[in-house]
């Protein structure tokens, strides 16, 4: 029996850790297990999300505060139009990034992580489970170079080191866990899927 309401699972981690690939694999695997599941990515396709993707490609020409505002407005729309309706319809939602990304990425720019988190949790439901795909920065940068040839404005070594450190500062919290993303993709998938299926079974 599928839970009446869907579960919200967030995949997090620094650039290059494989979140997008794993999110799509997880949805396919959950469907194979008889579950209803969908994945959404952030930033989304709103005007705010499109502006953020422009910044990713062209370089940061906005302040950290402006960046935070764009993420908040894009997330507000994502929650209203995608996340909450899917959960209410009984679908499990696997997020390819969620608000913890804002906390650590804008936190690494000097904003107060607690303030960023509070603003996000005022508009966005807390995940039932957050899985941080943890990866050393050297490996992440090598993967980025192999897949895209160059980094974007979010992918400098020193910056990603700060982001990773902030991510790992959350792992002692309930419902926030790490998975070793340096393993082969199949091993990472198995670890993620196993943990999510435990959560699904517990919710029945």
pLDDT 10s digits, 115-158: 999 999 999 999 999 999 999 999 999 988 887 665 554 568 89
pLDDT of residue 151: 53
96 domain-assigned: yes
**Coil, strand or helix: which one is 93?**
strand
**Residue 132 parent element (H or E):** strand 129-134
Rounded Cα distance, 134 and 160, in Å: 12
Q: Is 104's pLDDT higher than 90?
A: yes
Chain segment 43-88, per-residue pLDDT in tens: 999 999 999 988 888 877 889 999 999 999 999 999 999 999 999 9
Residue 106 pLDDT > 80: yes
Q: Is residue 1 part of a domain?
A: no
Question: For residue 40, what is the domain's CATH number?
Answer: 3.40.50.300
Distance CA 121, CA 30 (A): 27
What pLDDT, on a 0 to 100 scale, did the predictor assign at position 56?
Answer: 81
- Residue 75 maps to a domain: yes
pLDDT given at position 69: 96
pLDDT tier for residue 1 given thresholds of 50, 70 and 90: very low
Instruction: Kindly state whether residue 53 falls inside one of the protein's structural domains.
Output: yes
Q: Do the domain assignments include residue 3?
A: no
Count of domains in the chain? 1
Task: Provide the b/e sequence for 104-130 (b: ≥16 CB within 10 Å).
Answer: bbbbbbebebeebbebbeeebeebbbb
Residue 40 lies in a domain: yes
- Determine, yes or no, domain membership for 195: yes
| Residue 36 structural domain | 8-203
Q: How far is CA 22 from CA 1, 97, 162, 188, 191, in A?
A: 25, 12, 23, 8, 11
pLDDT, tens digit, 9 for 90 and up, residues 43-53: 999 999 999 98
- For 204, residues 6+ apart whose C-beta sits below 8 A from its C-beta are 1, 2, 3
Quote the pLDDT of residue 150. 58
Its pTM surpasses 0.75: yes
Q: What proportion of the chain, given as a percentage, has pLDDT over 70?
A: 94
179 part of a folded domain: yes
């Amino acid at each position: 029996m599928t839970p009446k309401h869907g579960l919200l699972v967030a995949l997090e981690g620094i650039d290059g850790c494989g979140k997008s690939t794993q999110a799509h694999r997880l949805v396919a695997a959950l469907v194979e297990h008889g579950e209803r599941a969908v994945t959404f990515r952030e930033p989304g396709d709103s005007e705010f999300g499109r502006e953020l993707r422009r910044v990713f490609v062209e370089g940061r020409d906005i302040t950290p505060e402006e960046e935070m505002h764009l993420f908040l407005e894009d997330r507000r729309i994502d929650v209203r139009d995608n996340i909450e309706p899917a959960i209410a319809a009984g679908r499990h939602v696997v997020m390819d990034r969620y608000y913890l990304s804002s906390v650590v990425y804008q936190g690494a720019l000097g904003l107060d992580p607690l303030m960023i988190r509070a603003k996000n949790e005022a508009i966005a439901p807390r995940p039932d489970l957050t899985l941080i795909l943890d990866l050393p920065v050297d490996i992440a940068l090598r993967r980025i170079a192999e897949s895209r040839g160059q980094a974007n404005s979010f992918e400098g070594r020193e910056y990603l080191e700060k982001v990773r450190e902030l991510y790992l500062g959350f792992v002692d919290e309930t419902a926030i866990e790490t998975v070793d993303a340096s393993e082969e993709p199949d091993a990472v998938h198995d670890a993620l899927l196993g943990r999510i299926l435990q959560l699904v079974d517990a919710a029945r």
